[in-house]
Amino acid sequence: MENETIKTDLMRGKRGIILGVANERSLAWGIAQQLHNAGAEIAFTYFDKIDKLEDKVRKLADSIGSQHVLPCNVADDKSIANVMDTLGKEWGQIDFIVHSIAFADKDELTGRFLHTSRHNFHVSLDASAYSFIAVLSAAHEYLAKDATALTLTYLGGPRVVPNYNLMGVAKAALESSVRYLAADLGPEGIRVNAISAGPVKTVAAMGIGGFRDMLKHHEQTAPSRQATTKEHVGKAGLYLLSSLSEGVTGEIHYVDGGANILGSSLG
């Protein structure tokens, strides 16, 4: 159900950080809404290189009573450290982290993959995959004994999706990082998972050629015959970040209406 939120106390007393809200359509905001309704206290970061993002994120944070809005560029270690040190010291410990960030030069999301530039490869893998490692590394000393971390990925990582190109390679690195981080942090009780979402119309999806057709195709062929929504993603996020998923780590959890099932397009 589109605007339904789950009311539980699953996250009461838990404090965490969400990186990657741009506006009310962001998948990160869908997760924030569900966590807030489950009682979590949330800090937000915004990408300070984008104009007016601070105002937008502050407004959204205010609407759920969040006191903490900080700038963060995940391509900059100092910027990440400032966020973790500020919140780690203020809260004493951090219970959860949501990483909902991806970037590739627009030119790489169309045309021949063969022509991917070295510079764009570096920039995209850095912002979209390495940044998850960097964020957890900087947060590590503050993470609670049973802390959870979540990132967002897409089917174009493990499979070839036309035009996803360089972002697919970045998501493959991100998904592998989820498994290695889960293995590394598991002995400390920290869990690390990803949600692989179906296409959702967000800022990151706008301006991508043929996206509208992708959405339509998805809705007509996925077994659920539903478009993926930020509410679907938010509810799965609540599961993966809360004790409901105790024992689940290193997983790539598909929230795509079953669109990755072979033959789903046979309708």
- Residues at the interface with ligand NAD (CB under 6 A): 20-22, 26-28, 47, 50, 72-75, 100-103, 127, 152-154, 197, 199-200, 202-205
Could you say which of 46, 164, 239, 254 is catalytic?
A: 164
Question: Judged by CB, which is closer to ligand NAD: 143, or 174?
Answer: 174
We find the least distance from the C-beta atom of residue 262 to ligand 0WE, in angstroms, to be 19
Could you say which of 142, 154, 239, 254 is catalytic?
A: 154
C-alpha 255/C-alpha 229 separation (Å) is: 9
Q: What number of other Cβ atoms are within 10 A of residue 230's Cβ?
A: 24
Binding site for ligand 0WE (CB under 6 A): 102-104, 106, 109, 154, 161, 163-164, 167, 199, 204-205, 207-208
Question: Judged by CB, which is closer to ligand NAD: 12, or 136?
Answer: 136
Contacted entry of ligand 0WE, ligand NAD, none for residue 123, CB cut-off 5 to 8 Å set by kind: none
C-alpha 98/C-alpha 81 separation (Å) is: 16
Contacted entry of ligand 0WE, ligand NAD, none for residue 27, CB cut-off 5 to 8 Å set by kind: ligand NAD
Q: Is 95 helix (H, G, I), strand (E, B) or coil?
A: strand
Q: Is 20 helix (H, G, I), strand (E, B) or coil?
A: coil
At a CB cut-off of 8 Å and minimum separation 6, what does 143 contact? 93, 94, 97, 136, 188, 190
Q: Identify which of 115, 186, 153 has the alpha carbon closest to the alpha carbon of residue 254.
A: 153
Question: Judged by CB, which is closer to ligand NAD: 22, or 125?
Answer: 22
At a CB cut-off of 8 Å and minimum separation 6, what does 249 contact? 182, 186, 191, 192, 193
Question: Judged by CB, which is closer to ligand NAD: 2, or 13?
Answer: 2
Our answer to whether residue 164 is catalytic in this structure is yes
Question: Judged by CB, which is closer to ligand NAD: 62, or 246?
Answer: 62
We find the least distance from the C-beta atom of residue 10 to ligand 0WE, in angstroms, to be 27
Contacted entry of ligand 0WE, ligand NAD, none for residue 109, CB cut-off 5 to 8 Å set by kind: ligand 0WE
Contacted entry of ligand 0WE, ligand NAD, none for residue 50, CB cut-off 5 to 8 Å set by kind: ligand NAD
Residue 152, both tokens: 């967002």
Burial 5-39 (b: 16+ CB within 10 A, else e): beeeebbeebbbbbbbbbeebbbbbbbbbbbbbbe
We find the least distance from the C-beta atom of residue 166 to ligand 0WE, in angstroms, to be 9
Edge-to-edge strand order for the sheet containing 94-99?
68-71, 41-46, 15-19, 94-99, 143-153, 191-197, 252-255
Contacted entry of ligand 0WE, ligand NAD, none for residue 20, CB cut-off 5 to 8 Å set by kind: ligand NAD
Contacted entry of ligand NAD, ligand 0WE, none for residue 163, CB cut-off 5 to 8 Å set by kind: ligand 0WE
We find the least distance from the C-beta atom of residue 161 to ligand 0WE, in angstroms, to be 5
DSSP 264: G
Our answer to whether residue 46 is catalytic in this structure is no
Kindly list the catalytic residues: 154, 164
